[in-house]
Structure 1
Amino acid sequence: MEQYNKRILTLDLIKGMSVIGMIIIHTVLIYANVKSQSETAIGSFIVFLGRGTSIFLICMGITFMTSSHQSLGSALKRGGTLVFAGLFMNFMKFMIPVIFGFAPDNFIQKYGWHAPIEQQYVYLVQLGDILQLAGMSLLFVGFIREYIKNKYIILAVGLLVALVAREVNGIHSDVPVINYILDLLFNTDYPAYVYFPVFPWMSFIIIGMFFGKWFQELNYNSKQLFKNMLYVGLLFVAVGAPLVFVYGEYNYNGFYHMGPGGVIYFAGWTLIFLWIIFSMTSNGKENRFMRLLQYCSKNLTSMYMIQWILISWGKGIFGYRQHGIGYVMILIVLYIFLTFSVQLIIDIIRKKKTFITLRRTPVENRI
């Protein structure tokens, strides 16, 4: 059982680091000018870190298989909640600045649009971000967890999703609501721009599920699990590298909409990275920083929404992509502070509501 706890700690630390990392990355992407993002060492490195989405998704797949909530109903409910959370986040990011009149003009000018600004921002509410990807994926992977018990078949399904992604890309309907769903699943720019279409990004979650199932079969032997990740990761890199660098037009074609080779290649490096992090943390003693990362991991979804909303609102104060890297580093510290502050306020409100509910509940009903 000790090894199980260590393994969970490793994933919590990784997810916690992703919370801090996404605040840094998004602040740079929103506020740093093009020169700072591409021509400075710090800016270029931070933008590079933004390619770490597969780490979060594989971790999500592992924890999905080992979660205490194993029913199909819980997966479907969680999936629907995340999709609507993503839409709510987009509304808060883009419509609130318009409603209250602090949306920066040059943000919209970036897209070269000429329609009324209100219409443009309604369009942006449909953006397919990581929350929509996670939510839509749960509507599928819940069935995989429920009905497929062989880990190799789970892995085969994950690779199949990556394999067919290029072929199904572009499917659409003339019915707006149906078309938006198809857009989240398969497409890139019709009618909304989707950063993370389910095909192929769901592949990373399913690959994580493969290792989650393997972890169970190993009786929660975390050391052996992460060693297996290293071996599979090296194999994936060996297979994916020639596909990406020789046949890149089909197998990569950009980070957000990669083909099968890109999925295998990035999954390989992700698995190697997870093994490295486990090797560095498995024998470490818990400290304040680790507890901070565990706190971030526990509140990952809410902190993701909080930081994006705050950073987007800040465009009306600090401008959009206008600053050098030094100024942006100050903003990073500010947004880390603000994100944690808002999360702590939410925690206090939740505890207060729980306390009031308990006080109103008869003693005999608490037992």
Structure 2
Amino acid sequence: MDIFNKEKINTSYQKELDLAKGLAILFMVWVHVNEYYQSPKIEGGFYNRLVEFLGSPMSAPIFIILIGVGIVYSRRSTAKYLFKRGISLLLLGYGLNILMDFIPNIILALRANDMSYIQLGLESIFGIDILAFSGLVFLFFSLIKKFNISNKGLFGIWCGLMTLNIFLRGTVIENKIINIICRGIWGTDELSWFPFLSWITFALVGYYFGQILTRCANKTVLYKNILFVTAPLSILLWVYSYVNNVKFGAFGALYQTEYYHQDIMGNIVLCVFALFWISLLYFVYQYIPEIVKITINRWSKNTNLMYCIHYTIIGFSILLLKTESYMPLQTILLAISIFTFTDILCIFINKVKSKKLSKGYTKNEYAALQNIQS
């Protein structure tokens, strides 16, 4: 039985992807709180490794793969729209750096009369985090759409980019101005969290996967096949990486610089695992209570907003709380508090936006507008 159709037949809402994104948001907040406030005494222990695992392979790769899937599924994936979206995300990424890093460090500098905080804040402004990287992804795909590049051509471009990453990864740029530009392309320093060459693979995997998914007539069979391949393959890849000291942050550096500056082997290990995780969640979804599904759906729709709000809260929380000082139970409670407050703020902001948007529309017109936007 052929489970694929020549035409796009599966273009509706994909619940398993929503679940993967919702859980990734939850793990993301947890790991960020942990990295700010976990005591060095428990570094490398079971709790630390668990949180870093949940907040790394099961978070950032999932987000970026789903960006690629979203570009396929979006009704607005024109070169012009993707370009505008890319610019807005770049600006949002650097704007968030100012809000969550620069401003709190200015306050700390004035409070402690220590100008080193200002230097730290200035350097942090131009860090390349996942929002700015997402902007680069949209700009990249705007060019793909503009020049109507085929899947084969896109694969050739990926090969070129991976070759470039092999040669450039770890190359240090002494000139600070040039380094600001280069750190967005490859891993030049510790402020280069999501360099383009190290992470574009995940978006491309999502882009190809999205095309397969839109033409799938039987997702149950598809995900069973993916699970059958990725489960044993993941085990083999992780064992191989451990035995041969493949450096993508999983074992020694615990998802820090080696994770952010990973090469093609790290891409392969984490992409295979991400596809395994998404496939597993497809079968888990049916057993989840309805209220949990509704909540996860809300988190998924508010991804960017939750990202910005939770990081802003964390950024300013260092003015009140002592960093790297808390044990597991304390960091868990702090993560739950920040996540809950973030979710509440998102609900409030969306209600305000909905009220403003609904003005001037009839109920039927407003309902239709919401359907188009979703």
Alignment TM class, shorter chain as reference: 0.7 to 0.9
* 1:76 counterpart residue number: 83
SS of residue paired to 1:254:
helix
1:199 maps to a residue whose letter is L
Whether contact under 8 Å (1:57, 1:204) holds in the other structure is yes
Q: Aligned-residue CA RMSD in angstroms?
A: 3.2
TM-score by length of 2: 0.81
**C-alpha deviation, 1:30, in angstroms:** 1.0
Q: Determine the C-alpha separation between the residues in 2 that align with 1:102 and 1:24.
A: 27
* 1:110 counterpart residue number: none
Counterparts in 2 of 1:276 and 1:260: CA distance versus 1, 3 Å? same
* 1:22 counterpart residue number: 28
**C-alpha deviation, 1:42, in angstroms:** 3.0
| 2:276 paired with 1:272 | yes
1:125 maps to a residue whose letter is I
SS of residue paired to 1:51:
coil
Residue in structure 1 matching 2:314, options 301, 311, 315: 311
Counterparts in 2 of 1:104 and 1:38: CA distance versus 1, 3 Å? farther
Query: Where in structure 1 are there 5+ consecutive unaligned residues?
Result: 106-113, 360-365
| 2:214 paired with 1:216 | yes
SS of residue paired to 1:209:
helix
Q: Determine the C-alpha separation between the residues in 2 that align with 1:103 and 1:327.
A: 29
Q: Determine the C-alpha separation between the residues in 2 that align with 1:263 and 1:104.
A: 43
In percent, how many aligned pairs have the same letter? 21
1:149 maps to a residue whose letter is S
Task: Please say which of residues 139-148 and 16-25 is displaced more in the overlay.
Answer: 139-148
Q: Determine the C-alpha separation between the residues in 2 that align with 1:350 and 1:4.
A: 27
Q: Determine the C-alpha separation between the residues in 1 that align with 2:184 and 2:229.
A: 29
Residue in structure 2 matching 1:301, options 282, 304, 308: 304
Whether contact under 8 Å (1:161, 1:200) holds in the other structure is no
SS of residue paired to 2:194:
coil
Whether contact under 8 Å (1:31, 1:323) holds in the other structure is yes
SS of residue paired to 2:127:
coil
| 2:56 paired with 1:51 | yes
Query: Where in structure 2 are there 5+ consecutive unaligned residues?
Result: 1-7, 250-256, 363-368, 370-374
| 2:182 paired with 1:182 | yes
Task: Please say which of residues 307-316 and 227-236 is displaced more in the overlay.
Answer: 227-236
2:127 maps to a residue whose letter is L
* 2:336 counterpart residue number: 333
**C-alpha deviation, 1:80, in angstroms:** 1.1
Q: Determine the C-alpha separation between the residues in 2 that align with 1:124 and 1:172.
A: 17
Q: Deviations along 1:219-264, whole A, 9 cap, x unmatched?
A: 5x43344345436636964885587446546777821111111111
Q: Determine the C-alpha separation between the residues in 1 that align with 2:306 and 2:331.
A: 20
Counterparts in 2 of 1:284 and 1:160: CA distance versus 1, 3 Å? farther
1:343 maps to a residue whose letter is C
* 2:230 counterpart residue number: 233
Counterparts in 2 of 1:181 and 1:102: CA distance versus 1, 3 Å? closer
Going by fraction, where is helix more abundant, 1 or 2? Answer: 1
How many residue pairs get matched? 344
Whether contact under 8 Å (1:184, 1:194) holds in the other structure is yes
1:233 maps to a residue whose letter is T
2:149 maps to a residue whose letter is I
**C-alpha deviation, 1:36, in angstroms:** 2.9
TM-score by length of 1: 0.82
